[in-house]
Structures are given as structure tokens and as C-alpha cells.
Structure 1
Amino acid sequence: MRVLVVEDDRELGPAITAGLRTGGLAVDYASSLAEADLKVSVNRYDCVVADRGLPDGDALGLIGAWRRAGRTVPVLVLTALGAVEDRVAGFEHGADDYLVKPFALAELLARVRALGRREQHPRLPELTVGDLTLDVPSRRTRRGGVLLSFTAKEFAVLEALMLRAGAAVTRGELLERCWDEMADPASNVVDVVIANLRRKLGPPDLIESLRGVGYRIREPA
């Protein structure tokens, strides 16, 4: 799951970014509306977390512009403006959620994940391929009824593959969905995670390598 944080506070912005990354999300960072607009135009995000008071204006104006342009990326407004009229204005401009500062990081992470699930697979809280089951809300994975343990990145890659079960998923698509903009597209980070997934999932192998393309998860023959 890939998230964009839009916050100009030099301490709070990096702290939110680090906190969400610790929670297993791929997070990009922008400190102005112009930078956020550019990043949303070139990257696919599952959720945007935006402060309202940015150096170049109120984020509600940008959210409204996105909605008028047909951009449906979920947006959570994170702001100190907590009056009823402020929250109402947020929803009227197209925000999907509104959280008032100060806030608990655990609550922010839960809200962001909920918005991301709504965008990715609103009717599929549980994904299944063969004897492998991935419970998205609880972030638990079982194969043959046995509970498996994965890192946050491994879980994200496995989820991306299972959402497209039977179809090819390129390395570029996995990088875009599961890593942030700091990832080096020439590195072997995807291959390393896939190797770890295969080892932990055990036989028979569910993940098929597609030479020159990427990977596909499928039910064993």
C-alpha cells in the first residue's frame, strides 16, 4: 500500500512518514500543494494524508480540484482545524476522512489502512489461492491452516500478487505499489522479497517467475 503524506511542518511531516513506514506502508512525502499535485499526477497512491494549512494554500482547494478532475484517490485530512464547520468543509470538498491534531499514530495508521482497503478491494477482506489464505484487515496469513509470519514488505508483495491471482504482475508494478519513491528500480529488492516469500510459504511453490516480465501467483497443479 502506497501513501502520500502532505505536511509542511519540518518535525511532524517526517515523524508521520516514519510512523506509517514502521506500520508497513510505502510512504512518499510532499511539503506543498504543488509538490503533492505533481506526485499524484505521476504516481498511483492508495491514500493521501494531507494537512490543510500548506505554504501555498488550503489543501481543501486541491482536493476539490482532484475530485472535479475525476481523481478518486482517498484523502484523509489531518489538521488542527477541528471545529464542526471545518470538518464539514473538508467532506464537502471531497475528503474521505478527517482527523484532528493532536492524534494517535495507531489511529492514523488504522484509518489510512481502512481507506486503502476501500480503494483496493472493498469486497475482499480475505484473499485465497489454493490452501493459502490472507486476511487483509487482521494482516494474518495461513497456509494449510498454519499461521505464517511475514515482514510488512513481504505481506504487501504477497497481497499485491493475490489481488491479481492468475495474472502477471511486473516488477515495476510491485515497486510502485509496495515501495516508495526512494526505491531504486535497478535494485533486486523485489527478487529478494519474492525469494523470502517462497521460502516461508514452502512447497509446492505458488509463485511463478515470468522471465523478463515479473511474477504470478497461481494455484498449484
Structure 2
Amino acid sequence: MRKIVFAFAALAMISCKEEKKEGNLHIKGNVEGLKQGTLYIQKIVDTALVAVDTIVIKGNSHFESHLTIDSPEMLYLFLDRGETNSIDNNLMFFAEPGNMTIDTRLDSFFAAAKITGSENQKLFEEYRKIMSRYKNTQLSLTEEKLRALQFKRDVSSDFDKKNSDNLKRKYLMAINFALNNKDHDIAPYIALADIYNANIKYLDTIDKSMAPKIAQSKYGKMLTKFVAERKQAEQKQ
């Protein structure tokens, strides 16, 4: 009898391990040049980053992870380099169920990253590239203002207007990108992450335009709740 109990216990343990290994998201990758260190796959829970998997690298720079996610969401690959300090140690990626690959290098962890296997990640990279134009314009305007202040020159009279116009174009581009990709989880993510303080009518439009499947996803539900709360708060003002 005891042998039978132990056998069932062993089978249960194996079953649990296999279930954990399978999941619905399989990530494999390589950090070229990494001989020793620890990789953490993290997600945001409430307002904190929480590790959902820990991978210790010793000699072999390839890594693999099996996770379960309810719907596509932004995850973070964090590299603990040990004694070597670097600000280039965090890589965000839009995960979705299926097989994903993350290949990068130790000496350029963020910039050299190539991520495949996620349609939302492709859209996120496209969106980030578009947004970089407006970010660069804002940096140029700020640099121009700082130089004027440094050398005690008058700041350009149209500085505020240029800055405001750039910000408006940035917001409109983000709104249009979300609306044009309403069938993907990137739409509610952009609304929540980048334009949460935009006019409520724009957020409401994005919320109502989402495909039914997206509306029931993690970010879709969050956006619907956020819009409802903002509407309620603004009505009280």
C-alpha cells in the first residue's frame, strides 16, 4: 500500500513539473558574451516589478523559460551582472502566448535585442520608432532653451508654442496608432501607458473601438475600468 501511495505522489510531482514547464508561453534566447549572471523575467503587479522566473547563467549564455499568461502583456527581462554595474540591464518585451525568441548581447543588452514570435512586439517596436521622432524634437527644443539660459540669451519667443505643438502631434499620433491597431493588445496598452492623461473623449474612443477579444484581455479590462473611473471623477468636478 505504501508503495502505491509513493508511486502516486511521484506521479503527481512529475505532473506538476511538466505542467509548469509547458505553460502557454515558451521563451528561449541567448545573451551573447554572458558567462555568469542571473536573468529575471519580471511583470508589474500593482505598481511593483515581480519576478516570475529566475534563470542562473553559468558558462552557457542560452536560456529558456516556460510561463503561463492569461493574455498578451508587457514583461521585462532583467540582467543581474553581478559585480559589473550597468544601466543597460533591462529589456521590456510584449509577450503573448506561443513561442518567442530573445537574442541580444552582453555589451549592448537593450540596443542589440532582437525579439521574435509576438505580433504585439512588432507593433510595439514600430510604435516606439515613430515616437522617437517626437522625443528627439523635444530634446532638441530643451537643449536649445538650456543653451540660451546658459549664455544668458533670450529664449526663443515661440519655444512654448513649438513644444506644445510637438506634444499635441505626439499625442495624436499615439491615439491614431492605437485606433489603427484596435485588434491588438498594443491599443489599450498605449492608452494606459502613454496617453492616460489625454482628453477623456480620445480614451473613450479607443476603449469603444477595441475588438471584443481585446476588450476582454488584461489591458482591455484595465482601460475600460480606467475610462469609467475618469468619467466619474470628472463628473464630480
TM-score by length of 2: 0.28
Which is greater in Rg? Answer: 2
Point out the structure with the larger helix share. Answer: 2
